[in-house]
Structure 1
């Protein structure tokens, strides 16, 4: 199974997203976080991801006659390469985007289920912004954003740190990317 097919499955994509932030989890911990997925199904998906080397076993311990494994995401194996991206069908992209949006909704639903919610304190936000950028300005924007985000991806768990999910989406906003020239007052 190629990595596109492996990663575009909605359950496996949720597993990948749960491991983001350099987390290590046992299947029990993973099952507690993804409690809407039947354990047998979750274990099968984890095994498939281990076989594909997307998840690696970082520890094992014996508990009551069984082996409990702790897993970590191999981030380099959990990404779709630019070459693979270029060969994805429209339906593949639709499935990937649907999984992206479903993950976003699930994350927000989990946040809303908390006993105490404070959007400002918790740093929760969502926003849509429109920008007029030519291709060079857009590339510069993406590079600037990467410079801000990249060093923080290396942060590990520490006292006072909270694992936060940041999702981005960029798309041309309409069929005609060229703005109309401003109207002039003919009386001038």
Structure 2
């Protein structure tokens, strides 16, 4: 098996762990993290388990040490998500799965009433048409993102999309 395929497989298996997915979420929100900051965000995670999960993420080449600082005789490591497109996509997909799983934990969920929708469209677009579509979506989403909750009927809704070239045969 090629090294890149093996790395991607290890990374995916590592990210399927719910604790490591929670840790990864922090890296998606902040460019860098320390074990101390992760512990503050995940207070129910015992320190030994936290270190084990962080080390596994390093071992599977999902995160890397980007800085080290001496603090009172110990070394504090600063970590960041590795710059690997497959990891970023896995994180994106896993975030969607985690959010949907959280939604399904609510016993009274109603897909129609809650306006749950997920679709995949196969579109034949030139590069220019694709750029225009993405720009229109971004402008619309940025306009909507500027709205405040304001109570009432408004509720938080997450909108995610990915643009990926398709396989003409398999679409």
TM-score range, shorter chain: 0.5 to 0.7
Q: 1:31 to 1:122 in 2, by over 3 A?
A: farther
Q: Name the larger-Rg structure.
A: 1
Q: 1:173 to 1:165 in 2, by over 3 A?
A: same
Aligned pair partner of 2:145 in 140, 144, 153 = 153
| SS class of match (2:112) | helix
* Equivalence for 1:14: 25
The 2-side partners of 1:133 and 1:141 are apart by 9
Which ranges of structure 2 fall in alignment gaps of 5 or more residues? 1-19, 31-37, 55-65, 67-80
* Equivalence for 1:164: 157
* Equivalence for 1:49: none
| SS class of match (1:102) | helix
RMSD between aligned residues: 3.6
The 2-side partners of 1:167 and 1:158 are apart by 23
Residue correspondences, number: 114
The 1-side partners of 2:148 and 2:28 are apart by 16
Aligned pair partner of 1:105 in 84, 97, 101 = 97
Moved over 4 A (4+): 16-19, 29-32
Task: Report the TM-score when normalising by structure 1.
Answer: 0.49
Which ranges of structure 1 fall in alignment gaps of 5 or more residues? 1-8, 20-26, 46-51, 53-79, 177-188
Q: Deviations over 1:119-153 (max 9, x none)?
A: 11111111111111001111110111112111111
* Equivalence for 1:143: 135
Q: How does 1:72-87 map to 2 (within 5 A)?
A: none
| SS class of match (1:117) | coil
Task: Report the TM-score when normalising by structure 2.
Answer: 0.53
| SS class of match (1:120) | coil
Q: Deviations over 1:53-81 (max 9, x none)?
A: xxxxxxxxxxxxxxxxxxxxxxxxxxx9x
* Equivalence for 1:117: 109
| SS class of match (1:147) | helix
Q: 1:115 to 1:17 in 2, by over 3 A?
A: farther
| SS class of match (1:119) | coil
